Structure 1
Amino acid sequence: MDTLTRMRAFIDVVEAEGFSAAARKIGRSKALLSKYVRELEDELGALLLNRTTRQFSLTEVGHTYYRRASEIVREIDSLADTVRDSSGDVRGRIRLTAPRTFSDAPIGQSLIDFSKEHPDVVLDIHLDDRFVDLVEEGYDLAIRITRLEDSSMIAKRLAPFSLKICGSPDLIARTGRPERPQDLSRMPCIVDTNGRWLSNWPFMRENGEMFSVPVSGPLEANSPLTTRAAAIAGLGFAPLPDFIAKPALESGELVSLLDDWVPRGGGIFAVYPHRRYLPVKIRVFVDFLAQWFRKHEAD
């Protein structure tokens, strides 16, 4: 049995957070995976996993080994993909992390459309609103909705993005229309706790200087869809991603406010680590998303 097979078994067990879950996921027996990991530990002369009947965890050396082994296996798979590139054969697994905001919105259809067009690729989607460390946690790429600041990654801009400060016509009639961001501090606001700024909303002056305004209100939720529903109901002013706010703005249920103060330069990005060999499946996936957003830009 070669080291690479044992290494893959170890990675599968770590990512599935257990032998049983890994066995179900990859279609091998729990006993076989346990054997491979035990042989790997014997080969290394080090304990990689702490095993009890109720707990599963990496040792300190196991954590280090997992991180480096994942990088090595991805490089090997990437090289194999590069060799297969000439055949046009796109297959394998893409481990993707994306925010729930992306998946729950109409633009999440892009992921379904990719799977329909490329049935030999398994799209393994993990929805998480935090900024995931792609290398540390073994992801192939991420969808990020932000003003991109991380220069250690390769990023392809898929579409523009901006926040909209929204309020219902009924709310504006009751409280008045905020003329400056600072006015929001004395008005009811809805806090989307998925946002990086929470109850300190970011704004930008004409000279590009950023500042924040503290807000509060009757409702906080970790869902932009719930935030939108609360804004439509007139509970408060709310910051919404433009693609979430769009239907309610078009119907007149919400009004966009303070547009000249909202930070600019945001986007929806496909982000992936620098690699010597970029897997064909990743390039095909990113190109598909870019074309999908161009096609649906006017929708």
Structure 2
Amino acid sequence: MDTLTRIRAFIDVVEAEGFSAAARKTGRSKALLSKYVRELEDELGALLLNRTTRQFSMTEAGHTYYRTAADILKEIDNLADLVRENNADLKGKLKITVPRTFIDADVGQSLIDFAKEHPDLALEIVAEDRFVDLIEEGFDLAIRITKLDDSGMIARKLSDFRVYACATPAFLEQYGPLTHPQELSKVPFLVDTNSRNHNSVRFFEPDGSAISVAVTGPIEVNSPQATLRAALTGLGVAIIPDFIVKPHLDSGALVSLFDDYLPANRGIYAIYPHRRYLPAKVRVLVDFLYGWFRRNA
């Protein structure tokens, strides 16, 4: 029996958190998996797993071995994907983390369209607004809406992105005119708590200097969709992503404010870990998303 098979058995047991669960998941018997892991331990001369009738845990050596072995197996699997010439042969699962803002908006249709075009690839889409550690948490790809910071990750820009400060014409008639961002501290503001600084908003003067404006208002919520609905009812000024608010600006239901003071160097990015062999399924997804945003600009 080759070492690679034993390593796969060990990783299956660790990721399933037990021999019985791994047996059910892989279709192999518990006894066979136990045999493979024991042979691997004999080969290494080290105990990798603590086994009792009720508990399962890795030893310190097991933790060390698992981290490196999992990376090696992923590289082997990625290399196998890479040499496949026909994308129709791609199978398996893609685990993706996306902001809730993205998946709940019209742009979230991009992932649905990909799933329809590639029925043999299963998408596990995890929608949350925190920055996920892709490697530590086993994600293949992240969609991020941000100003891109330098990191060890690889990024491809899918689309430009900006936000708009906006309010209804009736609200501006009551509280306006508003000519400078500092005036927001004196009017009701709808706070999207996804922002890193909930109670202040950052703007930029034409010379590039930053302005931090303290804001308060009747609603604080971690949802751009909710702040949009509140803005449309005239409750206050809101800062909302372009791909959510643009139709309402075009219709005149909302009016944009301070466009020259809001940053425009943001984007929607596909982020993935730096690997020597990029999995073909990740490459196909990123290429699809890039094309989707070109077609649906």
Task: Establish whether TM, by shorter chain, passes 0.5.
Answer: yes
Moved more, 34-43 or 246-255: 34-43
Report the TM-score when normalising by structure 1.
0.85
Alpha-carbon separation, structure 2, partners of 1:209 and 1:194:
24
Counterpart residue type for residue 106 of structure 2: P
1:286-297 pair list within 5 angstroms: 286-297=286-297
Moved more, 288-297 or 186-195: 186-195
Match of 1:6 among 9, 12, 26: 9
Q: Which residue of 2 aligns with 1:202?
A: 202
Moved more, 156-165 or 71-80: 71-80
Work out whether 1:101 is the aligned partner of 2:111: no
Counterpart residue type for residue 15 of structure 2: D
Give the SS at the match of 2:139.
coil
Q: Answer yes or no: is the 8 Å Cα contact 1:161–1:242 preserved in 2.
A: yes
Alpha-carbon separation, structure 2, partners of 1:178 and 1:192:
20
Counterpart residue type for residue 184 of structure 1: L
1:173 Cα deviation after fit: 1.6
Q: Answer yes or no: is the 8 Å Cα contact 1:159–1:267 preserved in 2.
A: yes
Give the SS at the match of 1:190.
strand
Q: Which residue of 1 aligns with 2:161?
A: 161
Q: Answer yes or no: is the 8 Å Cα contact 1:152–1:274 preserved in 2.
A: yes
Counterpart residue type for residue 8 of structure 1: I
Q: Which runs of 5+ in 2 are unaligned?
A: none
The 1:52–1:242 alpha-carbon spacing in structure 2 relative to 1, beyond 3 Å, is farther
Deviations 1:128-179 (A, max 9, x none): 1111111121111100000100331111100000011111122112211321
Report the TM-score when normalising by structure 2.
0.85
Give the SS at the match of 1:126.
strand
Moved more, 288-297 or 82-91: 82-91
The 1:105–1:86 alpha-carbon spacing in structure 2 relative to 1, beyond 3 Å, is closer
Counterpart residue type for residue 295 of structure 2: K
Deviations 1:188-244 (A, max 9, x none): 111111223322212122222333212111111111111110111111111101001
Counterpart residue type for residue 165 of structure 2: I
The 1:49–1:161 alpha-carbon spacing in structure 2 relative to 1, beyond 3 Å, is farther
Give the number of the structure whose alpha-carbon radius of gyration is greater.
2
1:22 Cα deviation after fit: 7.3
Give the SS at the match of 2:83.
helix
Give the SS at the match of 2:89.
coil
Deviations 1:46-90 (A, max 9, x none): 56689997x998777666555434422321211111232367632
Q: Which residue of 1 aligns with 2:273?
A: 273
1:32-47 pair list within 5 angstroms: 35=34, 39=38, 45-46=46-47
Alpha-carbon separation, structure 2, partners of 1:181 and 1:7:
58
1:275 Cα deviation after fit: 0.8
Number of residue-to-residue matches in the alignment: 292
Work out whether 1:112 is the aligned partner of 2:112: yes
Q: Percent identity?
A: 51
Alpha-carbon separation, structure 2, partners of 1:186 and 1:228:
20
Q: Answer yes or no: is the 8 Å Cα contact 2:188–2:217 preserved in 1.
A: yes
Alpha-carbon separation, structure 2, partners of 1:220 and 1:50:
49
Q: Which runs of 5+ in 1 are unaligned?
A: none
